[in-house]
Chains A and B, each alone.
Chain A
Amino acid sequence: MTRKVVHLIDDIAPGGVMRMLRHMAEGPAIGRDHSHEIRRIRRGALVAPRLEADVIVSHLTVTWMNVPLLTGLRALNPDVPMVHVEHSYTESFVAMHAVPRQRFATLMRVSYAMFDRIVAVSAPQAAWIRRRGFAPAERVVTINPSVDLSPFLALTPRLEGAPKVWCLIGRLDAQKGFDVAIRAFRAAAGDDESLMVFGEGPERDRLEALAEGDARIRLVGWADSPAEAIAACDAVLMPSRREAFGLVALEAQAAGRLLIVSGVDGLAEHQRHGAIAVGANSVEAWTETLRRLRHGGEAERILQGRQRARRAARAFQAAWLELLDDLAAPVGFATAA
C-alpha cells in the first residue's frame, strides 16, 4: 500500500519545480511509499477537480485568479490534507514591484487558509510569511528544495587557482539581475577572464546590448543540462533581485564551484553555507567583489558548499517524509491507494 500524492502545477511552472518533483518521486523513501501524480491546471481555472489522493500538494501560483480554484479544491476534497509550496513570493518581490500591501496580505491569507501546511522554500521566506501573518506560524514549515545532485557531485571541484570563467545560469528575466553582473564583469574582469550566460528569456536583447563589443561575454542559450553549463565554468554568479531559494546555488555548490550571491531573500541562506554575498546588489558592489575574488583562495568555502549540497538531498527527502507522515494516514492504511 502506498500513499497517493497529487501535485498540482500551473501551466507556466518554472523548470526547477518539475526537476524537484522528479527528484521527489525518485527518492528512496518518498518514492517507495508514495505514488506521485502531477496534474497541470490552467491558471484561473474556475472548476476544481475532485481528486483521488491521500495528500494534495499545490505548486500553483497564488493569484486572485486562482482563488476560486483553491476554494473549490478545499470544498471538494474536504478530508484530504492540502499542502502549498510557495515557490514564488518573497519580501523582495512585493517590495520591488510595490505590490499594494493590504490587498496582497488579503490574497495571501485567503489563499493560505485553504491549506493545512505552507511549505516555505527557505528560512528567510518562512520568516517573512510568519511575520506578515499570511498563515499561523505553526502551519509554516521550511523545506529547502532539492534536485538530483549526482551529476553535479560527479564533477571535479575547482579548488585551486583563480577563477577565469564566470557564469550566469537561468531565465533571462529582470528578476535574475544578469544585467547587474554583466555591467560589473565589464568593469572588473581582465582580458583572460570570460563570462558565460546560459538561458533564454525576455531580457535577451537588453543583455546582448549590455555585452556588445565585449568578446569575453557570451550569451550561449540553454545548455543541454544544468550540469553541463556548470561544468564549463569556475564560478557561478547569482545577482537575483528576488529569489525564493535558487536551486542553481545548490547545483553550483554540489559541483564545487565558487558561488557568489546577491543576498536577497532565500539567497541569504546560501551565505551561511559557504556562498559569498556581495551585500548591496549593485553594479559597484559586484565590481568590487569580482575584483577581490579574481585571485582565488576560496577553497574552504567551496568545500563547505559541497558538504552542504551532499546533505541537502537527504535533508529534502527526510523533511518531506516527515511532513507527509504528519499529515496523512499511516502508510498501509492509506485510503486512496
Chain B
Amino acid sequence: MLPAYVLIAPAILSAIVFLYVPIAYSGFWSFTEYSGLGTAKWVGLANYRDLLADEDFLKALWNTVLFVLIGMGIGPVLGFLSALLLNQAVRFRAFFRAAYFLPVMTSLVVVASIWKVLLNDQGIINQIFSLFQLPTRTWLDDTTTALPAVAVTSIWQGFGFETVVFLAALQAIPRDYYDAAKVDGASYWQQVRHITLPSLRPTIMFVYIIGIIGSFQVFDQIFVMTSGGPINSTRTLVFDLFERFNQLELGQASAVAYFLLVILASLSYIQIFLFERGRR
C-alpha cells in the first residue's frame, strides 16, 4: 500500500497547497475587509450583503447568465451537428476532426486577440458584411452587440471540444440499433431522435455540466476584448472579481468567488438530479 501513497503524495500535496488552502483562506477573507497588506478586519456577512446591493455585481451576474445561455445554447448544438457529420464516411475525416478541434487547443488569449481585430471597426467582419450589403456595427463598442460578439468568439473557440466528445460517444453506439431501425423504416432524423440522443444522454449531461461550469468562469476573452465594457455590458462575474482584487478589496473579491462556487455547485446538482430522474 505504501508505494501507492508515495506515488499520489505529490499530487495530493500540491492540491492541498495550491487548491484547498487558498480556498480556505479565500473563504475566511470573504468575511473580512482586507487589502492584501496589513491585517484583515472582520466584517461578518457585510461583503455578501453589499454585493447583493451592488449594481456592478448584479450586472456582472446578469451578463454571465446571458453569456452562458448564448454559449451553451449554441455551442453543444453545433458540436453535436458537426459530430453527426463527421460520423459519416466523409473523405478527409481526420483532417476535419483536427480542424474542428484546433481552436480548442489554441490559447484563448490568442483567439480573443485575433477576434478583437476581426471585429474591429475596419476589421474583416465589417468588410464582409458591407460586401453583402449587411449592416456593419462597432461590435465591441456597442452595448447591445459586445456580449454576443464575445460569446461568438467563445463558441468558435470551444465547440470543437463538444464535437470530439460527441463523436467519440457516437462511435460507441452499436450499429445494430441503426440497422434494426432502418429495417423498421425509420428516417434519418427519427433514428437520431430515438436512438442517438437517448444513447448520448450521459455524454450530453457531461458536456452541459462541464460547459456551464466553464462558461460561468469566462474571463480571458473579456479581459482581452472589452475589459468589461462598454459601460459594464460585458462585465462578468470573474471579471468583477478581478476588478475588486485590483481595487485591493480582497474581501469583496473572495465573496464573489464564493457566490460563484455556490451557483456552480447548485447548478451541477440540479443538472445531475434532472438527468438521473429522466433516466428512470
Asked if A and B bind, the verdict is no
Q: Which residues of B contact A (CB under 8 A)?
A: none
Hey, which bits of chain A sit against chain B, CB under 8 A?
Answer: none
